[in-house]
Every structure is written in C-alpha cells, then in structure tokens.
Chain A
Amino acid sequence: EPEVTQTPSHQVTQMGQEVILRCVPISNHLYFYWYRQILGQKVEFLVSFYNNEISEKSEIFDDQFSVERPDGSNFTLKIRSTKLEDSAMYFCASSEDLTGGVEQFFGPGTRLTVL
C-alpha cells in the first residue's frame, strides 16, 4: 500500500541553524501539506502546496519557513533560522484532491528538537 514517508524521524539542531525536513508524498497525489504538533498541543496546519506553488498558509508559516518540490518526488520544509519554539513534531500529508472529504494521507512525522 502506498504511503507517505518522512526523513529524518528525529532531528536535533542548535537555535539559529537551518533545517530541512523531507517528505515523499504518494506518487499520484497532487496536493501536499505540512502540519506541526507542539508537544501536548493541537496539530496545526502550516502550508498547502499545489502545482508548484503555495495554495494556502497559516499565520505560523512566516518568512522563516519555505517549501519546495525540488524534483518529482520530494517535498521539503525548510526552516531558515530555527527558534526554540519550533521544537515540534512535523507531519507531511498528501491527497489526490483538495475537495472536502477526501482523505489526507499522513507520514509518520519528524520530531524536531531545537536546543
């Protein structure tokens, strides 16, 4: 069964460093998302991506964040200069369609720890 994969599973970085979180969505999906969950808090939407551009982003997704689909398979989230409060679990998801009711398939997450 096709699945979304994410690497690494755990990333530890120093404050101020750049990190890139990687995701491989399901191959025939067209819509890609990043969500994050700070420990003990809600899963929050960051950004959605379609046709090589951002289709929607939340207030969390400020200028420190960027997304890219550098090739036909990877979908990356870059945090330019990490802050302590960026420590969270980051989930990638993909779906065939943006229509409400269509399942978003999630990866296992990358736990980011900023020291």
Chain B
Amino acid sequence: GNSVTQMEGPVTLSEEAFLTINCTYTATGYPSLFWYVQYPGEGLQLLLKATKADDKGSNKGFEATYRKETTSFHLEKGSVQVSDSAVYFCALIGGTGNTPLVFGKGTRLSVIA
C-alpha cells in the first residue's frame, strides 16, 4: 500500500538557519504530494503541493520538488524564522486520484531566536 516516511524530530534550529525535512514515499502510479503544517493549537494547513514529477511546490519561502526517481519530496527553506515553529507533515494522495491522504508521522520544528 501507499506510505510516507519522514525524518524523525524534533528539529531545533537557530533563526536564519537552513531547513531540510526529508520525506520519501511508496505509491503505485503517480501520486500527488503535499506538505501540511500544524501551528500550535491549530488545524492542519496545506503548505505546498506538487501533482506530477519534477513539479516544485512553494509557499512562504518553503519549497519541495517532486522527485520520482528517488521517490522523495523533501521540504526546504533557506532561512527559518521563529514563526515557522510547527509540526510539518508530508502526505500523498494515491495514483488513482480519489483515495484519502496518507500522512507521514510529522516532524516538529522549533526555531530559536
């Protein structure tokens, strides 16, 4: 079945540091890939998405590129801020296009000033 594996947290970075959160997936067909973010006390919000190979999703300075050859969708940001502290979830919707989201375990990011 479909699955998502993301790096274990927590990740603690200083402000303006470079962020990478690794995400790899297993899926049949051509899944759509997502990063969701959960700020403290809030629900899951879509951060970015990519629907086909080599697509790059980007939002709020975050980027992730859909790499079919390595089945990866790593999240990156060049310079993190304290306000980026949250839990980040990698997720996919399977290749059939009408299956539920499959999530990774989530990675907690703490950014300190």
Interface residues of A (CB under 8 A from B): 4, 6, 33, 35, 40-45, 48, 56, 58, 91, 93, 98-101, 103-109
Contacts and interface: CB of A to CB of B under 8 A. Distances in A.
A93 B43 CA distance: 10
B101 A101 contact: no
Contacts, number: 64
B73 interface: no
Contacts of A43: 44, 89, 91, 101, 103, 106
B49 A91 contact: no
Contacts of A93: 44, 101
B100 A100 contact: no
Contacts of A105: 46
Interface residues of B, number: 27
Residue from A41, A43, A58, A98 whose CB has the most chain B CB atoms within 10 Å: A43
Interface string B59-90: 00000000000000000000000000000010
A79 B41 CA distance: 24
Interface of B: 31-32, 36, 41-46, 49, 51, 89, 91, 93-106
A103 B100 contact: no
A99 B97 contact: yes
A42 B43 CA distance: 15
A109 B101 contact: no
Given A45-B102, A56-B99, A103 B49 contact: yes
A91 to B, nearest CB: 6
